[in-house]
Amino acid sequence: MFHSITTFIRKWRASRNSGQQLDALLATADRHAPYPERSEWLIELAHWLQRGGTVQGEPLDAASSGQPEQPVRPLAAHTRLRYLLNVLDRNPAWRANVAGILRGLLRDSDSISLLCDAGMPVHSGFFGALFERLEASLVSPAPNRRDLAAICTLMFPAGCDAGWIASLPVDLLTRVRALFDYAVHDDPGANHRSQPANPHDSAFSFDLLAALHNLTCQISSTGLSQTVRSRLDDADAHVAMTRQPFYRLTRAMLAVEVAHQALDSGGDPVALLREVNYLRVLLDECRNATHTVFAHLDRNGVSVDIVFQVERMRMRIERAERLLDAWLASSDPHADPHAAARLAAELLTANQASQSVAHLLRSNFSLLARKVVEYSADTGEHYITRNRADYLKMLRLAAGGGLVTVVTVCVKFAITGQHFQAMFEGVLAGINYAASFLLMHFLHFTLATKQPAMTAPTLARELDETGSADGVERFVTSVVALIRTQAAAVLGNVLVVLPVCLAVQVLWRLTFHSDLITPAKAHATLHSFSLLGPTPFYAALTGVLLWSSSLLAGWADNWFMLHRVGDALAYNRRLRLTLGAAGAARFARFCRSNVAGVVGNVTLGMMLGLVPAIVTAFAFSFEVRHVTLSAGSIGVVLGVLGSGALRLPELWWAVAGVGSMAVLNVAVSFALAFQMALRSRDVRSAGARALRRAIWQRVFQRPRDLVWPMRERQPTHPDRVQ
369-388: pLDDT as tens digits: 655 555 544 455 556 777 88
How many whole angstroms separate alpha carbon 426 and alpha carbon 545?
15
For residues 139, 142, 146, 149, the Cα torsion angle rounded to the nearest 10 degrees is: 50
Work out the end-to-end distance of the chain between its first and last CA atoms, rounded to an integer number of angstroms: 88
**Backbone torsions φ then ψ of 86, nearest 5 degrees:** -65, -40
Task: Say whether pLDDT at 664 is over 60.
Answer: yes
pLDDT of residue 188: 62
This prediction's pTM? 0.65
Lowest mean pLDDT among 59-63, 374-378, 472-476, 622-626: 59-63
Residue 315 pLDDT level (bands cut at 50, 70, 90) = confident
Instruction: Tell me the average pLDDT of the chain.
Output: 81
Closest residue by Cα to residue 276 from 311, 314, 325 = 325
**Taking residues 321-346, what's their average pLDDT?**
80
**Backbone torsions φ then ψ of 658, nearest 5 degrees:** -65, -35
Fold of 199-330: Four Helix Bundle (Hemerythrin (Met), subunit A) (1.20.120)
Task: Say whether pLDDT at 124 is over 60.
Answer: no
Three-class SS of residue 566?
helix
How many whole angstroms separate alpha carbon 628 and alpha carbon 399?
11
Could you count the other beta carbons within 10 Å of the beta carbon of residue 233? 13
Q: Any residues with CB less than 8 A from the CB of 413 and at least 6 apart, and which?
A: 516, 517, 521, 633, 636
Q: Any residues with CB less than 8 A from the CB of 296 and at least 6 apart, and which?
A: 231, 232, 233
**Taking residues 501-511, what's their average pLDDT?**
94
Closest residue by Cα to residue 219 from 300, 120, 365 = 120
Exposed/middle/buried for residue 173 (C-beta within 10 Å: 0-12, 13-18, 19+): middle
Task: Say whether pLDDT at 18 is over 60.
Answer: yes
Number of H helices, E strands in the chain: 31, 0
Tell me if 430 sits within 8 A of 607, measured CB to CB.
Answer: yes
pLDDT of residue 362: 65
How many whole angstroms separate alpha carbon 283 and alpha carbon 275?
12
Tell me if 301 sits within 8 A of 370, measured CB to CB.
Answer: no
Q: Any residues with CB less than 8 A from the CB of 669 and at least 6 apart, and which?
A: 449, 450, 452, 453, 456, 543, 544, 546, 547, 550
Three-class SS of residue 511?
helix
Q: Any residues with CB less than 8 A from the CB of 689 and at least 6 apart, and which?
A: none
**Taking residues 83-102, what's their average pLDDT?**
91
Tell me if 401 sits within 8 A of 436, measured CB to CB.
Answer: no
Q: Does domain 370-706 have CATH number 1.20.1080.10?
A: yes
Quick one: which H or E segment has residue 132? helix 126-138
**Taking residues 188-212, what's their average pLDDT?**
60
Q: Any residues with CB less than 8 A from the CB of 659 and at least 6 apart, and which?
A: 531
Residue 62 pLDDT level (bands cut at 50, 70, 90) = very low
Three-class SS of residue 546?
helix
pLDDT of residue 193: 37
Domain ranges for the chain:
1-189, 199-330, 370-706
Tell me if 626 sits within 8 A of 665, measured CB to CB.
Answer: yes
How many whole angstroms separate alpha carbon 364 and alpha carbon 383?
30
- Cα Rg, the chain, nearest whole Å: 34
Exposure of 650 in the CB half-sphere (CA atoms within 13 A): 15
Q: Any residues with CB less than 8 A from the CB of 686 and at least 6 apart, and which?
A: none
Highest mean pLDDT among 129-138, 185-194, 299-308, 480-489: 480-489
How many whole angstroms separate alpha carbon 658 and alpha carbon 648?
16
pLDDT of residue 458: 65
Residue 253 pLDDT level (bands cut at 50, 70, 90) = very high
Task: Say whether pLDDT at 183 is over 60.
Answer: yes
How many whole angstroms separate alpha carbon 363 and alpha carbon 481?
32
Tell me if 402 sits within 8 A of 496, measured CB to CB.
Answer: yes
Strands (E), 346-416: none
How many whole angstroms separate alpha carbon 553 and alpha carbon 450?
12
Three-class SS of residue 16?
coil
pLDDT digits (tens, 9 = 90+) for 468-489: 788 888 888 888 888 888 888 8
**Taking residues 609-624, what's their average pLDDT?**
92
pLDDT digits (tens, 9 = 90+) for 572-586: 999 999 999 999 999
pLDDT digits (tens, 9 = 90+) for 104-123: 888 888 888 888 888 776 55
Cα angle 371-560-548, degrees, rounded to a multiple of 5: 55
What's the gap between Cα 258 and its chain centre?
Answer: 42
Closest residue by Cα to residue 318 from 205, 219, 244, 209 = 219
Task: Say whether pLDDT at 566 is over 60.
Answer: yes
Q: Which amino acid is at 691?
A: L
Query: Please, what is the angle between helix 170-180 and helix 76-90, to 10°?
Result: 40
